[in-house]
Structure 1
Amino acid sequence: MNTPLWTPSPTAIANSNLTQFREWVNQHRQLSLPTYTALYDWSVSHTADFWESFWQYANINASTPYQTVLSNAQQMPGASWFEGSQLNYAEHLLRCKENKTALHFQGEDRVQRCLSYAELFDAVAKVANQLRAVGVTKGDRVAGFLPNLPETIIAMLATTSLGAVWSSCSPDFGTQGVLDRFSQISPKVLFAVDGYYYNGKTIDCLDKVSVISHALPSVSHLILVPYVGTAALGVETAPTQQTQQWNDLLQGETPALAFTPCAFNDPLFIMYSSGTTGVPKCIVHSVGGTLIQHLKEHLLHGDLKPNDTLFFFTTCGWMMWNWLVTGLATGATLALYDGSPFYPSADVLWQYAERVGFTTFGTSAKYLSALEKSGYQPREHYPLHALKAICSTGSPLLPESYDFVYHHIKSDVRLSSMSGGTDILSCFALGNPILPVYRSALQCRGLGMAVEIWNDDGQPIKGEKGELVCTKPFPSMPIGFWNDQDGSKYQHAYFDRFPNIWCHGDYAELTEEDGLIIYGRSDTVLNPGGVRIGTAEIYRQVETFPEVMESMAVGQQWDGDERVILFVRMQPGQHLDDTLRKRICQQIRSGASPRHVPAKLIEVSDLPRTISGKIVELAVRNVIHGLAVKNTDSLANPEALTLFENLTALQEN
């Protein structure tokens, strides 16, 4: 841990946005903050001053200025930010009106497109005009059942320019999964795609769109977006609904685009929890909180500049899509991709990165692990001269993935593992352009985020594992949950364990270098013999074996205690025999501890995961204990759960 894998050069540090901001703060606040640590400590001890300073530095434009930066600062929930201000999210993303490229797009069908900022502005103006014409006003919900296309960004910006609320699902969601989400928020307009491409297949969506639109009586207008070429065929909708074709919205002269002023805490996005324990919770995020938090992360932690190109491999059903899109507010170029990251071969994203010149490549930890196991090594094929940073999130990044990035992708790159989530639509810990990268650790806690690790007694600890908490309010806290009138569900989700303290549900450790290691979700922490074990601690050992594709550890109640069960999915042509079992157990014993060694090691052909690719340990734990999984529609492969039913090995000592 004490030897950095990467260290920024003095020139890079001096030229970073973060250094410029620190110097700006010193000048405007009459301070002397010499380091990131000093800046961070000030940002969490003087929370309101920090966020006001960043508002000014980032040139956030309010048509009506704020009167108070932070009210009820000691309350979570209950704190209120930038009261009195009126602003518009879309207006900030469309501030650049030049002919420079705003969006690159590449689809699995190899179609490539580019939109300039000027073209993006014109398209948003036309779609917003049509939405206004069909009655969309401030506070209305507009839903998107769409892939990661330029049209999706245009539809979202048109919606939010009117002060309406955007919510999206990717088209790989099952019909019931979409309805579980959209039916709760009663959208007035639905944007839907005719189909999409994945893993060499063309998947038609028109039948699914018909079912969804019929089941949403609140929808008055369905707007069909062409992608695979069947949108013109249309769908059968309810008698109360009208259908429009996307291309018809873009005809004619470009109207003026008026941005509806919104309060800082007005709703902007509705996101959804995974829904594996019931109907997904609808998490409402604010206009101002989303904008200021994302800008802080892009400008300061990501060092994003107007000449950069930001890419993140994501669907519109994952929060990283919303995070990616806010990058437009920096004037940078966004790169979009839709399709399988391994079709027709493992180099598809790296070829795209080299051609366009990605400066930041964002993806999931699972993708990096899968890329390593595929045997493909980007460094052997592309120099990636433009690439400055690789971002990873979705799950803890394995130590071996750090090694893979520096040995086989690029040696001079900032590897920024990030952790936060849909709950806050942003990060608690993430990258930093002026700090070193240490193996296994996220570089730093985010500015303005009073993150600590607490033990069971609610005491802050360092160098030990505990609960990740945030002890002070931050702007991107959710407004609340949709239809949670008394706020009880919101309260229960984050504040029950430690009153007035945000308890995020991550099992983590603060390192001596002030980095963060995430060991997994607290609700999946194993507890054999009363010793708490994060599942990521086991995965880090198991997935060093090239024979293993992926693994899942769960706790099974046994003889009045809990024992660890490890399920492994093998690479094609590989099988789990006794020799490999012994090798895996020995690696876990030596690399972690004897407590981490599973009582049972079982091969399965698949592991259940959410649409966004996260393995669902809790669902498997329920199945092996004979409990119901309440909402299988949230899973990409619900059939995999049957593999864990009535396993003979689980009944044996």
Structure 2
Amino acid sequence: MDYQQPEQPKLLWMPEKDRIHDSKLYQFMVKLSEKKNTLYHDYNQLHHWSVNHSEEFWSMVWDFCQVEGAKKPPVTFCPADSRTPAKDTQWFPHAKLNYAENLLRNWRTRAAADAIIFHCEGDPNQRQHISWQQLYRQTSQVASFLHNHGVKKGDVVAGYLPNIPQAVVAMLATASLGAIWTSTSPDFGAESVIERFGQTKPKVMLFAQGYQYNGKPISYRDKVVAVSQNIPELELLVEIPASVSIAAEPSKSAIPDSIHHHYWSDILESTVPSELGFTPVPFNHPLYILYSSGTTGNPKCIVHSVGGTLLNHLKEHQLQTDIRAGDKVFYFTTCGWMMWNWLVSALASGATLILYDGSPFYPDGNVLWQLAEKEGVTLFGTSAKYLEALEKQGYRPKDKTKLPSLRTLCSTGSVLAPEQFDYVYDAIHSDIQLASISGGTDICGCFAIGNPLGPVYRGECQGLALGMDVQVFNELGRFVYQQHGELVCLNSFPNQPIGFWNDPDGSKYHNAYWQTYAGIWHHGDYVSLSNTGGMIFYGRSDAVLNPGGVRIGTAEIYRQVNRLKEIKDSLVIGQNQGADVRVILFVQLVETEVLTDELKATIKQKIREHCSPRHVPEVILAVRDVPRTKSGKLVELAVRNIVHNQPVKNVGALANPESLEEFRDRDELKT
């Protein structure tokens, strides 16, 4: 049994006719209408065509977005004996291209314009900008350096880096050679980095001398040394200056003598800029290795292709979020989250990247909005948790800043509650496209995303991604509409992973996505399709609660609990109790608040009134903190394992692993 979604959601925004006609998506539909001699006039009609004629759609995206490369037929190939064609289909099997060439293709026509603008925490007036010509020159210098030190097509280059311009340059230099880029952020501990890079075995690793977060300069050199000592394949380290002043600290141990150590500044001073020789590679050649969170086992090393990543990001940027040449695109991210890879691809559309490294609340919650105002940001990307925190702390960016350039606000990372939709339009900007987007590291892209032509409804992702036949299945593998179920994708799409690193027979990759509904991509999100054409998310499938046989998405409970002024954060799990499950709610209280019987009653009443009696937790407990991954996602499974006296793997993947201890051996949970 599934709890039903509400009826008609509230309309919050509709684009003006002029804005619709100016959009890249409208221009795409005009071209399609001319080509097919049929009027394509709305998004749902276009989506239907894109999934029923997916080869023609993706080929048209290639042409419309003017991909640099040799597009040769056929568009797809699938072995005749394949039993899982959605998984086994190869896209553009004879095409050749280079990712870096596509991202740098504007360097001549926009040579003096800004390609990257960088701000770091500490000095709001400090601003580093890199022109397109400078970006090209620096990329050529670093590519020459890497080539001269033996980096070739198929080698792995790793960045253990803050969100700084040098990370973009190093990635482009790596991709220009046909090598593979992988990265993580300096807040990861040495053990967590070794769990990742130890599997992918990079030949080169870049790191920075330090960074600043929440007002504190941080050196992570000792972690770099520890990583270097545990990856025998590492031949070369490149050290990048810190963006802020970092006190030199003597390292407790040394980098192995077998590893050559170079400095970024020396590379730029000693290497003569030259014309980049972009190595053409097949469409399905590896570009990126991304990592799963690793909270349920060793991190999965997910390999993404050059062509699939580029083509899908061009589609998502130009058609779904209306990124245009000259736009200023900002996403608050680290190099350890796939949104960094998504952000960097905006260069291919001629946009300027706005990078920020630091805390989004230092010195206060206005800092990112002041940056957006100063730089004229057109797309502002962030997480749902950030918007919730802003609202809870009483920030109203539109009262402090003017954002006339802002057209699109993207939110991802977790479910954006309906109340945060209200908050965006009330406190940030009344006339923007709010795109709650969802997909993940698994596809380095989105299954549900924005639609510049259509309305924004409260609590909904605007639309299903073009070219992707996204549906909802129940537990029996049957289609359901306006009912809770599992997000699946029925057709093949170019940005499917190539596979997992170190998975020679492909069994781990198959079991991760293709096993639940034989040969159909099962994403692991608990969702429903709305009668508006949008999609509603209720949380991760593996965190779904099941009291009395009723499946409940955790986001439904978080939405009610986190609205209370006494609650800072919360986490909910199901605890096995005989043949049934009881709902356990943990709450992190605002300082000075106490979990009284009255507050417990208020929480239960709010959940009962706005959800159902089945949603009401049997037990409510206070904790000092709730565990999250470094990208801000709750880890219900880790807490559930602790409550059931099961091991928790890879606690180093958490931003606050010490928080787990408070969930262990609670008398209130002994049954």
User: TM-score of the superposition, structure 2-length normalised?
Assistant: 0.95
Q: Does 1:199 align with 2:205?
A: no
> Which of these residues, 163, 167, 186, is aligned with residue 178 of structure 2?
163
Structure 2 residue matching 1:83: 3-state secondary structure: coil
Counterparts of 1:371 and 1:639, CA distance in 2: 25
Letter in 1 for 2:47: Y
Which residue in 1 is equivalent to 2:43? 36
CA distance in 2, matches of 1:30, 1:475: 27
Give distance in 1, aligned partners of 2:208 and 2:246. Answer: 9
Q: Does the 8 A contact of 2:43 with 2:451 survive in 1?
A: no
Q: Does 1:251 align with 2:274?
A: no
Give the stretch that moved more between structures: 53-62 or 527-536: 53-62
Write out aligned runs for 1:222-371 (5 A). 222-227=237-242, 228-229=244-245, 236-252=254-270, 253-371=272-390
Aligned counterpart, 2:87: 77
Write the deviation string for residues 608-648 of structure 1: whole angstroms up to 9, x where unpaired.
11111111000000000000001111111111110001111
Q: Give me the whole-angstrom Cα distance separating, in 1, the residues matched to 2:536 and 2:350.
A: 32
Counterpart of 1:467? 486
Aligned partner of 1:103 in structure 2 is 116
Would you say 1:556 and 2:556 are equivalent positions? no
- Pairwise CA distance, 1:413: 1.3
2:413 is aligned to 394
Residue in structure 2 matching 1:59, options 59, 66, 70: 66
Pairwise mapping of residues 451-490 of structure 1 onto structure 2 (< 5 A)?
A: 451-490=470-509
- Distance (whole Å) between structure 1 residues aligned to residue 161 and residue 371 of structure 2: 22
Contact 2:206–2:238 under 8 Å retained in 1: yes
**What amino acid is the match of 2:258?**
T
Q: CA deviation at 1:308?
A: 1.2
1:224/1:234 contact within 8 Å kept: no
How far the C-alpha of 1:307 sits from its partner, in A, is 2.3
1:507 aligns to what?
526
- Structure 2 residue runs of 5 or longer lacking an equivalent are 1-7
Q: Among the aligned pairs, what percent are the same residue?
A: 50
Q: 2:627 aligns with which of 608, 628, 632?
A: 608
SS of equivalent to 1:575: coil
Query: Deviation at 1:32?
Result: 2.9
1:401-447 CA deviation, whole Å, 9 max, x = no partner?
A: 11111111111111110000000000000111111000000000010
User: Does structure 2 conserve the Cα–Cα contact (< 8 Å) formed by 1:543 and 1:550?
Assistant: yes
Matched residues, number: 651
Which amino acid in structure 1 is aligned with residue 71 of structure 2?
P
Superposed counterparts of 1:451-600, under 5 Å: 451-600=470-619
Whichever residue aligns with residue 207 of structure 1, its letter is: D
Alpha-carbon offset, residue 559 of structure 1:
3.1
Distance 1:465 1:2 in 2: 16
- Map Cα deviations across residues 192-235 of structure 1 (whole Å, 9 max, x no partner): 11111011111111111111111111111100011145699897
Partner of 2:132: 117
Give the one of 24, 27, 30 matched to 1:17: 24
Counterpart residue number, 1:372: 391
Deviations 1:166-216 (A, max 9, x none): 000100001100000001011000001111101111111111111111111
Q: Secondary structure at the match of 1:484?
A: coil
How many Å apart are 1:109 and its aligned residue?
2.3
| Greater alpha carbon shift after TM alignment, 247-256 vs 138-147 | 247-256
SS in 2 for 1:503: strand
1:133 aligns with 2:143: no
What is the alpha-carbon distance in structure 2 between the residues aligned to residue 307 and residue 239 of structure 1?
46
Tell me, in whole angstroms, the C-alpha distance in 2 between the residues paired with 1:404 and 1:579: 28
Counterpart residue number, 2:3:
none
Separation (CA, whole Å) in 1 of partners of 2:72 and 2:477: 35
Structure 1 contact 220–242 (Cα < 8 Å) conserved: yes
- Residues of 1 paired with 2:456 and 2:152: CA distance? 46
Q: Distance in 2 between matches of 1:231 and 1:257?
A: 37
CA–CA distance in structure 1, aligned partners of residues 155 and 64 of structure 2: 32
User: Would you say 1:627 and 2:646 are equivalent positions?
Assistant: yes
Distance 1:230 1:218, change over 3 A: farther
CA deviation profile, 1:340-371 (whole Å, cap 9, x unmatched): 00011111101111111111110000000011
CA distance in 2, matches of 1:230, 1:399: 42
Paired amino acid for 2:57: F
Say if 1:569 and 1:603, in contact at 8 Å, map to a contact too: yes
Distance in 2, Cα, partners of 1:156 & 1:485: 26
> Unpaired segments of 5 or more residues in structure 1?
none
Q: What is the rounded CA distance, in whole Å, between the counterparts of 1:309 and 1:395 in structure 2? A: 24
Identify if the C-alpha distance between structure 1 residues 591 and 83 changes in structure 2 by more than 3 Å, giving closer, same or farther.
Answer: same
* AA matched with 1:106: H
CA contact (8 A) 2:211 2:246 kept: no
Q: Relative to structure 2, which stretch is displaced further, 568-577 or 369-378?
A: 568-577
1:268-291 deviations in Å (ceiling 9; x for gaps): 000001101111010000000000
**Structure 1 letter corresponding to 2:230:** A
Matched, 1:150 2:165: yes
Distance apart, 1:525 and its partner CA: 0.3
Alpha carbons 2:304, 2:496 under 8 Å: kept: yes
Separation (CA, whole Å) in 2 of partners of 1:454 and 1:10: 36
Tell me how far apart the structure 1 counterparts of residues 424 and 249 of structure 2 sit (CA, whole Å): 46
Deviations 1:207-266 (A, max 9, x none): 111111111111111000111456998973212111000111111531221100010000
1:87 maps to 97
Q: 1:182 to 1:395 in 2, by over 3 A?
A: same
Q: Which has the higher contact order (CA 8 A, sep 6+)?
A: 2
Decide which moves more: 373-382 or 231-240: 231-240
2:13 aligned residue:
6
Is 1:231–1:245's contact at 8 Å kept on the other side of the alignment?
no
2:76 aligned partner, one-letter code:
L
**Distance in 1, Cα, partners of 2:528 & 2:423:** 23
Whether the 8 Å contact between 1:623 and 1:645 is mirrored in structure 2 is yes
1:52 is paired with a residue whose SS is helix
3-state SS of the aligned residue for 2:505?
coil
3-state DSSP of counterpart to 1:77: helix
AA in 2 matched with 1:624: V
Q: Distance in 2 between matches of 1:185 and 1:292?
A: 25
With the length of structure 1 as denominator, give the TM-score of the two structures: 0.98
The code of the aligned residue for 1:616 comes to V
Offset of residue 45 of structure 1:
0.6
Which of residues 192, 210, 214 in structure 1 aligns to 2:229? 214
Residues 438 and 446 in structure 2, CA contact (< 8 A), matched pair in contact too: yes
Instruction: Confirm or deny: 8 A CA contact 1:552 1:617 kept in the other structure.
Output: yes
Distance 1:53 1:27 in 2: 13
- Summarize the Cα distance change of 1:230–1:586 in structure 2 as closer, same or farther, 3 Å threshold: closer
